[in-house]
Structure 1
Amino acid sequence: MEELGRLKRALIDTSAGAISGAISRTVTSPLDVIKIRFQVQLEPTTSWALVHRNMYGSSKYTGMLQATKDILREEGLPGFWRGNVPALLMVMPYASIQFTVLHKLKTYMSGSSRTEDHIHLSPYLSYISGSIAGCAATVGTYPFDLIRTILASQGEPKVYPNMRSAVGGVLNTRGLWGLYAGLSPTLVQIIPYAGLQFGTYDTFKRWAMALNRMGGKSSSDINPTSFQLFLCGLAAGTCAKLVCHPMDVIKKRFQIEGLQRDMRYGARVEEGAYKNMYDALLRILQTEGWGGLYKGIVPSVVKAAPAGAVTFVAYEFTSKWLESL
């Protein structure tokens, strides 16, 4: 019976993680496409950035509203969901692996398989659990992330019409390892990102429970409300994104190296433009300034907040629903 209970728990975590990840990714895809367009643009993305020495010339995208109008005019509504298929193929197993590994680690550290007992873990153990879970999920799904970035950033006319041609193009030009281009900065990013996201989420949940207790609720009725869970997820996603955004920019540059998209989108990131992660960091700082490391930060934060909130709320509700079956 105990073995069946563990198997059921694993299936619940996997299914709830996949469903919540798919919902979150689809809802926030437009913001993700805009974010990627900013991140892979070598030219300045804001007017204040023009004060820094600009070696690339005029900019295609200069603000969220302008980028939204341009994408809508040139590519139509489907343009905001470019790369959503590989994104879903990535995020569903990613979320499943992440939440499954997270629950396993928390079960091991707390000595209990009950989700409600995990809230008593220290913030440090929550950070560690989140980081390890994030790394495991990243390695397992990275090629989908790379293909998603390529499809979302290529614009019109398309370099690759679909996911299959994009995979073939990467394999032909960069080989099998090309599907893992940018993995190093991704792992450097995901450790603090996942740790902060899950660690701060658990911390905020504890605060919400403490507030409910102070509000006079009984010990059996102090669990966070739906709105409180939404706020916890929103705050956790925002905190993590603000800290880790520069590594995400570097990752995107490695992912689109050699992509021959139309020149009206600006300078291309040529093959071998960056020797390694450290070289990419220095070159971006030298040619684009500190603002270059935070290109796309506005749509990223705007996206991270609802994405984190939707993911956690959908996970909590899906998990409870599956447990009741």
Structure 2
Amino acid sequence: MYMDLPSTLGFCRQLKIFSERKGFWRGNVPALLMYMPYTAIQFTVLHKLKTFASGSSRTEDHLHLSPYLSYVSGALAGCAATIGSYPFDLLRTILASQGEPKVYPNMRSAFVDIIKTRGFQGLYSGLSPTLVEIIPYAGLQFGSYDSFKRSMMTWNRYRYSHLNLGSEDDSVSSFQLFLCGFAAGTFSKAACHPLDVVKKRFQIEGLKRHPRYGARIESSTYKGMYHALKEIVAKEGFGGLYKGLFPSLVKSAPAGAVTFVAYEYISDWLESILM
């Protein structure tokens, strides 16, 4: 989970050999169960906040909000979505991190064991560092996306007016929306990755797993986020805060791009039939 590019490629080869390609989808079910409510809550709260701030429910009017309001709206929406879907995020991380032989054969066994050993609050292990991470991450993602989209609209107006392509048109194409979402996802993930590393360390504390997949992190290894950051830097160097950055970007950047494009088109479609 905390790997650089060479170790990531090596890990993929191990998954192919030992898991007959199934290892690539380990933790996929809780991931899907997490993303569905997470995305629904996030974009619903975001739209409500932007509607309140702009005084209009139209998506095009939301672009006139200041970057500061876009950042705050995104951060609050991310917090709401995280709290609503966090247990699935925890289960996803645990199932993906346990390695072989498996400690938990399925999501249900992991859920039951967490309840027995940690109590209900165990389903929210690592929530505090996750919220600390999601505030700048979601804020930067949505704030930068709006900024990139405004810049793209400005570029389109400039292109149409200076190349004599007819009347000015600042509408953004699907590909341009994809680029804006891709850039926003890359920027926000790269900036906040150290906090994501800390979050996952808290989530897998005490998890039994084969030494091939990394040393076990004993329970109560870290006393808090600041202590975890200090320990990681002291034992692994600053590079330890960016372990797993490459596979994280490979996942989050295109996923964010597709999500934003889908959201834009679904929003436009809903506005066309409801207004």
TM-score range normalised by the length of the shorter chain: over 0.9
Which residue does 1:127 correspond to in 2? 71
Which residue does 1:116 correspond to in 2? 60
Which residue does 1:160 correspond to in 2? 104
Q: Distance in 2 between matches of 1:199 and 1:137?
A: 17
Deviation at 1:62, TM superposition (A): 4.6
Which residue does 1:149 correspond to in 2? 93
Which residue does 1:256 correspond to in 2? 204
Q: Which sits farther off after the overlay, 200-209 or 265-274? A: 265-274
Q: Distance in 1 between matches of 2:52 and 2:167?
A: 29
Which residue does 2:253 correspond to in 1? 305
Q: Distance in 2 between matches of 1:116 and 1:170?
A: 45
Give the alignment of 1:27-106 within 5 angstroms: 37-38=1-2, 45=3, 62-106=6-50
Q: Which sits farther off after the overlay, 248-257 or 68-77? A: 68-77
**AA paired with 2:175?**
F
Deviations 1:268-325 (A, max 9, x none): 0111111111111111111111111111011112222211111111222233344555
Which residue does 1:54 correspond to in 2? none
Deviation at 1:78, TM superposition (A): 2.0
Deviation at 1:106, TM superposition (A): 0.5
2:229 matched to 1:281?
yes
Q: 1:302 to 1:172 in 2, by over 3 A?
A: same
Deviation at 1:85, TM superposition (A): 1.1
Q: Distance in 2 between matches of 1:230 and 1:125?
A: 22
Q: Distance in 1 between matches of 2:61 and 2:97?
A: 43
Q: Distance in 1 between matches of 2:247 and 2:155?
A: 31
Deviations 1:117-165 (A, max 9, x none): 1111111110010000001111111111000000111111111011110
**AA paired with 1:238?**
T
Q: Distance in 1 between matches of 2:125 and 2:92?
A: 13
Deviation at 1:177, TM superposition (A): 1.2
2:172 matched to 1:224?
yes
**AA paired with 1:247?**
L
Unaligned runs of 5+ in 2: 161-165
**AA paired with 1:282?**
K
Q: Distance in 1 between matches of 2:167 and 2:22?
A: 49
Matched residue pairs, number? Answer: 268
Secondary structure of 1:268's counterpart equals: coil
Q: 2:123 aligns with which of 179, 182, 200?
A: 179
Give the alignment of 1:237-252 within 5 angstroms: 237-252=185-200
Secondary structure of 1:63's counterpart equals: helix
Q: Distance in 1 between matches of 2:212 and 2:252?
A: 29
Q: 2:217 aligns with which of 261, 266, 269?
A: 269
C-alpha RMSD of the superposition: 1.5
**AA paired with 1:298?**
F
Question: Per chain length, whose mean CA-contact separation is higher, i.e. which structure has more relative contact order (CA < 8 Å, sep 6+)?
Answer: 1
Deviation at 1:64, TM superposition (A): 2.5
**AA paired with 2:210?**
D
Q: Distance in 1 between matches of 2:119 and 2:240?
A: 29
- TM-score norm. by structure 1 comes to 0.79
Q: Distance in 2 between matches of 1:232 and 1:65?
A: 28
Q: 1:134 to 1:66 in 2, by over 3 A?
A: same
Q: Distance in 2 between matches of 1:96 and 1:275?
A: 33
Counterpart contact for 2:50–2:62, Cα < 8 Å = yes
**AA paired with 1:202?**
D
Deviation at 1:114, TM superposition (A): 0.6
Secondary structure of 1:112's counterpart equals: coil
- TM-score norm. by structure 2 comes to 0.93
Q: 1:112 to 1:291 in 2, by over 3 A?
A: same
Which residue does 1:41 correspond to in 2? none
Secondary structure of 2:63's counterpart equals: helix
Which residue does 1:18 correspond to in 2? none
Counterpart contact for 2:15–2:22, Cα < 8 Å = no
Secondary structure of 1:215's counterpart equals: helix
Q: Distance in 2 between matches of 1:151 and 1:218?
A: 55
